[in-house]
Amino acid sequence: MRPFHALAFGALVLPLSAFAADPHSYAQPDQVVVTHLDLDLKIDFPNKELDGQATLKLDWKDPKAQSLVLDTRDLKIASIEGIDAAGKASALKFALAPRDKELGSKLTIATPQHPAQVRIVYTTVPTASGLQWLTPAQTADKKLPFMFSQSESIHARSWVPLQDSPAIRFTYNAHVTAPKDVRVVMSALNDANHPLNGDYSFEQPHPIPSYLLAIGAGDIDAKETGPRSAVYAEPSVVGKAAKEFEDTEKLIQAAEKLYGPYAWGRYDLLVLPPSFPFGGMENPNMTFATPTLLVGDKSLVSVISHELAHSWSGNLVTSATWRDIWLNEGFTTYVQGRITEAVFGKELANQEALLSARALQKTIGSMPPNAQKLAPDPRGIGADDALTQVAYDKGSWFLRTMEQRFGRETFDAYLKGYFAHFAFQSITTEQMLEYLKANLFDKNPGKMSWDEVNAWVFEPGIPKDAPLPDSPRFDAIDKERAAFLAGSLTADKLDAKGWSTQEWMYFLDGLPEVTPLDKIRQIDDAWHLTGTPNAEIGMRWYTRAITAGDKNVWNAAAEHMTRIGRLYLTMPLYKAFVRTPEGLAFAEQVYAKAKAGYHPLTQQAVEALFAKARKSGK
């Protein structure tokens, strides 16, 4: 295990009042804060359970506090004991409240003596929302079962009892036992050379929020990709993944040059089975990634740029509530673009920025006004629902605007200082803006007005003067697409032979939502998009073809939907199918076969879509 790099960031110690009210947690950090977690878990694949104990180190804030309140969801609590400063343990009384559909069950532990630690013995349930259990048949190599977590946004509470709020940060150690031949990894320092002996220990020396707590276990091999990085994946996948992500060290160095030292020691990647519902999850030290990135030409490696960027924006400086999530995702999407530009060139970075900006322009007007704001007013939505296109794409667009107004050199220096100042802290939008005004606007007057900042952050929509990058190749595609739709250029004459993934994405994104069926078939006859192994292209292609009424693609679309559990790449196809009664019936058949391989979050999204479609009479 390589030593991590200790950094002197000069972090600001936040007062108790800085703990933002979190409507998605029962925790009471004004009374007591968890500062460290010790986990001791056994992975039980036959019963699909984690069995063990969590020991929480406590920092009491209120001398009159009588209880410790934790977040749980569907945990079976066996016993709880308090441990005093001398190490003496004694049983504690506790009460588990009735289950709330979103928040789970409030766990109240009577602690009038303010123990230094509390130890909870518990077991998870097979349906834990933050865990997915896969049979060997659902994996790539079909040899061993697989289990992985997805704690964001408030699903950590389904496998560990804790204060499940991004405002509360803790270090952790873990001891995990598993069947031999099963490798275990966590969002901590991992050892690629660890023997497969069923006994693993982990350390996360930096304070992290609960949504970054992660675990994975299965038939996992490891292959080094650099002096401080490795790829972990099933044996049949690991070589391909290592080749796809061989530039990881270059990405780390590019980010460090811009924003200061990488604080976490190692940056490893776990490529999960296809059921993983997201493109990537920025778990510290161990990004979890979808296999849909493995297209063979590194064209989708920007997702790794994004997850790496979270090592500064999100993991190092974290949004204190889910309302402030743009501080994670908007900043990260901006930093991702800068890393991509440094390693792969400005044209690719500009193309990806344009793809996201154009997509946002299409959809933002149909959102409720409050949902269009970077920092919305209280709205009573679920924590998972806060992760919208607005947080990612409007947030990064705002930062690109400031970069243009203040100049790249000035803005880079500001952002580097921002990450250092708030390192290992969770902050609100208002704290970020206070720092922004004092350290960028007041020091560089006349570049941008504060009214413009307020418009970006607190008003709906996108400011009319929001700048867009240039892409001559996209401009050429716009002309070709227009000529094709007008009938003056046939599909086989499109200059698409050398198009990159991003250029095909842009061409397909620009087609009318309901493209004439004859145009769809012309494209397929010329370019054979049906059956493409590229999931980004496939999602766009099948969505357009289904909507156009082309039943010739249905079976290939079903294969895509069954093979891929990533929400972003699967849900658009379901949405296209449910527009017609026949399509809805077909989608339900596909889902019946695919459901067992989907993550609970994907299952929930598909079933909600079906219910809505049936209710509307489709």
Q: Is 307 one of the annotated active-site residues of the chain?
A: yes
* Distance from C-alpha of 23 to C-alpha of 166, rounded to nearest angstrom: 11
Beta strands in 384-435 (DSSP E): 425-427
Per DSSP, the residues of 453-501 read HHHHHHSSS--TT------HHHHHHHHHHHHHHHTSS-GGGSS-TT--H
Q: Does residue 536 contact residue 570 with C-beta atoms inside 8 Å?
A: no
User: Annotation-wise, does 306 bind a ligand?
Assistant: yes
Structure tokens at 149: 């977590």
What is d(CA 246, CA 405) in angstroms, rounded to the nearest whole number? 35
**Of 152, 307, 341, 536, which one is the catalytic site residue?**
307
Q: Find out whether 329 is annotated in a ligand binding site.
A: yes
Q: What is the 3-state secondary structure (H, E, C) of 166-217?
A: CCCEEEEEEEEECCCCCEEEECCCCCCCCCCCCEEEEEEEEEEEHHHCCEEE
User: How many Å apart are CA 366 and CA 58, to the nearest integer?
Assistant: 46
Hey, what are 584's tokens? 């809805």
Query: Judging by beta carbons within 10 Å of its beta carbon (0-12, 13-18, 19+), is residue 63 exposed, middle or buried?
Result: exposed
Contacts 24+ apart (CB under 8 A), 411-420: 411/440, 412/258, 412/259, 414/439, 414/440, 415/258, 415/259, 415/335, 416/258, 416/259, 416/260, 418/317, 419/259, 419/260, 419/312, 419/313, 419/316, 419/317, 420/9, 420/10, 420/260
Determine the straight-line distance between the first and last CA of the chain, rounded to whole angstroms.
Answer: 56
Residue 396: strand, helix, or coil: helix
The residue annotated as part of the active site, out of 122, 262, 392, 414, is 392
Whether the CB-CB separation of 303 and 329 falls below 8 Å is answered with no
For residue 110, how many other CB atoms are within 10 A of its CB? 14
26 catalytic residue (yes or no)? no
* Type and span of the H or E element at 258: helix 248-259
Side-chain half-sphere CA neighbours of 52 within 13 A? 18
How far, in Å, are 356, 358, 361, 446, 503 from residue 468 at the CA level?
Answer: 11, 9, 12, 22, 17
| Helix (H) / strand (E) containing 51 | strand 49-60
Is 224 annotated to bind a ligand? Reply is no
DSSP-derived 3-state class of residue 100? strand
Binding residues for Zn(2+): 306, 310, 329
Catalytic site residues?
Answer: 307, 392
